[in-house]
Chain A
Amino acid sequence: MMGFISYLVNGISLGSVYALIALGYTMVYGIAKMLNFAHGDVIMIGSYVVFSTVSTMGLPPAAGILISVAVCTVLGVVIERIAYRPLRQASKLVVLITAIGVSYFLQNVALLIYGANTKSFTSVVTIPPLSLAGGALIISGETIVTILACIVIMIVLTLFIRHSKPGRAMLAVSEDGGAAQLMGVNVDGTIALTFAIGSALAAVAGVLLCSSYPSLTPYTGAMPGIKAFVAAVFGGIGSIPGAFIGGILLGIIEILGKAYISSQLADAIVFAVLIVVLLVKPTGILGRQIQEKV
């Protein structure tokens, strides 16, 4: 029983990371109507920044995280400006291929700077593990921090989007960019803001992920990126609560699958569940039909 609860908590923790990454996918999809496949690699870059600043240069973890968030925010905006904005009128396929190109570019930049060897990432979490049920259930500090960070970020993000002016502009652009522009919204600026927020969250996700799973390579972001994308589709792409629910469920399914079925098959199970969900409800759990405007 305690084993199950422990797996469940770990699943929620991993799912929290997926949720944070999925937010970036889903917000960008909702507003720019594109899949930013380079999003996972932003996580990896963010983790390397923390590795360099904290493990190599010896800065305090908080400073390293702040620098990482700043670097990723700028990186996200720059990627959008250089790679995606010129393609605003291009076909979806062209944008998708460009995004894959950006992804390889980022991986190779990391390869060039840090080499292919695995770096061991030092956890930035310093709080001690929590011992429950007389020591039968131990929850690591990383797990606690990850879950709390995800909850706080979800609340702040939801409040920002629902109740701030730039947040409302984001909702308006995601529904009808032309109409939003008629209201005076700078659509390009709003898309840039979305990339900035998504990339900042990716930096946070990267730090949390590497604190729990401490090996860092130029490909560290790829798999979590794909899984978070699955989580976003799972929850209903374009929906913020959907990304949250999709991420958490995916994390739980993955960890429970690993524990009780097969650690080799865990990823296959994740994708199988996605296929079943999409067969039953093609728009995902919370998704709505996206109307293509003519």
Chain B
Amino acid sequence: MAMLEVKDLEVYYGVIKAIKGISFEVNEGEVIALIGANGAGKTTILHTITGLISAKAGSIQFDGKNITKTPGYKIVGMGMAHVPEGRRVFAELSVYDNLLMGAYTRKDKKEIQDSLEMVYTRFPRLKERKGQMAGTLSGGEQQMLAMGRALMSHPKIILMDEPSMGLSPIYVNEIFDIIKEINASGTTVLLVEQNAKKALSIANRAYVLETGNIVLDGDATELMNDDSVKKAYLGE
């Protein structure tokens, strides 16, 4: 059984149908890429999965449980973290307090401390800046903080929404290396990206989204060689 299974999902903004009945699944240990142009509905899908908006129809199963109607604040405690579009770190809290917010649902002090050490090892820059207000970090550092904050919940799966957005090429490579590492250490990843080339290069499988519908899916390397994908998303 898939770790995350989305079935016939429909999402509306008022009367506008943004997601038009899509289905996909993510298996344990995979990196799944969800690619598509601006406004295709990628963010909407992630927001629906973690309960920031609610679905009109369809179902979302996570870890064997139906979470379609679960209140959003309970999702992270079930093992699903979300690195939202635009990072959304708490600008007026310190780096350290942001990381603690990531562990909000956890109780064991020792385990939280271990996670903190793990995050600091993975992102040494966060450790150097732990007392600094998150709003004063650079864009790339904020992205690292958003990822570190998500890791603080010790998730089984991480949903990431355009982690490379607005970053310089060096940072983009660093961020993708980190996503690979996070996955290698056992965390499943659902990755939304406009940088399709990079996303496909680290994904196992991918889904291509166009105006609320999945139009193509399959093995990431196969999609990379698909003519329509090349033309529309890889700029070749």
On A, residues with C-beta under 8 Å from B are 165, 168-169, 171-172, 175-176, 178-187
A66 to B102, CA, bound (A): 36
On B, residues with C-beta under 8 Å from A are 50-52, 71-74, 76-77, 81-82, 84, 88-93, 97, 100-102, 104-105, 149, 153
CB proximity of B158 to chain A, nearest CB, Å: 11
- Determine whether the beta carbon of B73 is less than 8 Å from that of A187: yes
B102 CB contacts on chain A under 8 angstroms: 183
CB proximity of B188 to chain A, nearest CB, Å: 17
CB proximity of B103 to chain A, nearest CB, Å: 8
- Determine whether the beta carbon of A179 is less than 8 Å from that of B88: yes
- Which chain B residue shows the least CB distance to A171? B93
CB proximity of A187 to chain B, nearest CB, Å: 7
CB proximity of B155 to chain A, nearest CB, Å: 11
A165 to B92, CA, bound (A): 16
CB proximity of A31 to chain B, nearest CB, Å: 13
Query: When the two chains form the complex, which single residue of B81, B88, B97 contacts A176, counting CB atoms closer than 8 Å?
Result: B88
A182 to B53, CA, bound (A): 12
A256 to B91, CA, bound (A): 39
A175 CB contacts on chain B under 8 angstroms: 90-93
CB proximity of A181 to chain B, nearest CB, Å: 5
A168 to B91, CA, bound (A): 13
- Determine whether the beta carbon of B104 is less than 8 Å from that of A165: yes
CB proximity of B171 to chain A, nearest CB, Å: 21
Given A168-B101, A169-B104, A184-B153, decide whether A179 and B90 contact each other with a Cβ distance below 8 A.
Answer: yes
- Determine whether the beta carbon of A172 is less than 8 Å from that of B93: yes
- Determine whether the beta carbon of A181 is less than 8 Å from that of B51: yes
Given A179-B84, A179-B88, A181-B51, decide whether A186 and B93 contact each other with a Cβ distance below 8 A.
Answer: no
Given contacts A179-B88, A183-B105, A186-B73, 18 further A-B pairs with CB under 8 A are A168-B100, A169-B104, A171-B93, A172-B93, A175-B91, A175-B93, A178-B52, A178-B84, A178-B88, A180-B90, A181-B51, A181-B72, A182-B72, A182-B81, A183-B149, A184-B74, A184-B77, A185-B101
Given A168-B93, A171-B93, A187-B73, decide whether A182 and B100 contact each other with a Cβ distance below 8 A.
Answer: no
A175 to B88, CA, bound (A): 9
- Determine whether the beta carbon of B105 is less than 8 Å from that of A182: no
Which among B74, B90, B102, B153 has the greatest number of chain A C-beta atoms within 10 A? B90
- Determine whether the beta carbon of A183 is less than 8 Å from that of B104: yes
A172 CB contacts on chain B under 8 angstroms: 90, 93, 101
Main secondary structure of the interface of A (DSSP, over half): helix
Query: When the two chains form the complex, which single residue of A178, A179, A184, A187 contacts B105, counting CB atoms closer than 8 Å?
Result: A184
A3 to B149, CA, bound (A): 56
Which among A178, A182, A183, A185 has the greatest number of chain B C-beta atoms within 10 A? A182
A165 CB contacts on chain B under 8 angstroms: 104
B92 CB contacts on chain A under 8 angstroms: 171, 175
Query: When the two chains form the complex, which single residue of B51, B82, B88, B104 contacts A185, counting CB atoms closer than 8 Å?
Result: B104
- Which chain A residue shows the least CB distance to B105? A184
B153 CB contacts on chain A under 8 angstroms: 183-184
- Determine whether the beta carbon of A184 is less than 8 Å from that of B90: no
- Determine whether the beta carbon of B52 is less than 8 Å from that of A183: no
* 7 closest residue pairs by CB, A with B: A184-B105, A179-B88, A184-B76, A184-B104, A183-B104, A186-B73, A183-B101
- Which chain B residue shows the least CB distance to A288? B92
A184 to B74, CA, bound (A): 6
B93 CB contacts on chain A under 8 angstroms: 168, 171-172, 175
B81 CB contacts on chain A under 8 angstroms: 182
A145 to B89, CA, bound (A): 41
CB proximity of B164 to chain A, nearest CB, Å: 19
Query: When the two chains form the complex, which single residue of A176, A181, A186 contacts B90, counting CB atoms closer than 8 Å?
Result: A176
- Which chain A residue shows the least CB distance to B135? A175
- Determine whether the beta carbon of B82 is less than 8 Å from that of A182: yes
B82 CB contacts on chain A under 8 angstroms: 182
A186 CB contacts on chain B under 8 angstroms: 71, 73
A294 to B47, CA, bound (A): 14
A184 CB contacts on chain B under 8 angstroms: 73-74, 76-77, 104-105, 153
B105 CB contacts on chain A under 8 angstroms: 183-184
A175 to B153, CA, bound (A): 20
A187 to B84, CA, bound (A): 17
A183 to B149, CA, bound (A): 9
Given A175-B91, A176-B88, A179-B90, decide whether A168 and B72 contact each other with a Cβ distance below 8 A.
Answer: no
- Determine whether the beta carbon of A185 is less than 8 Å from that of B73: yes
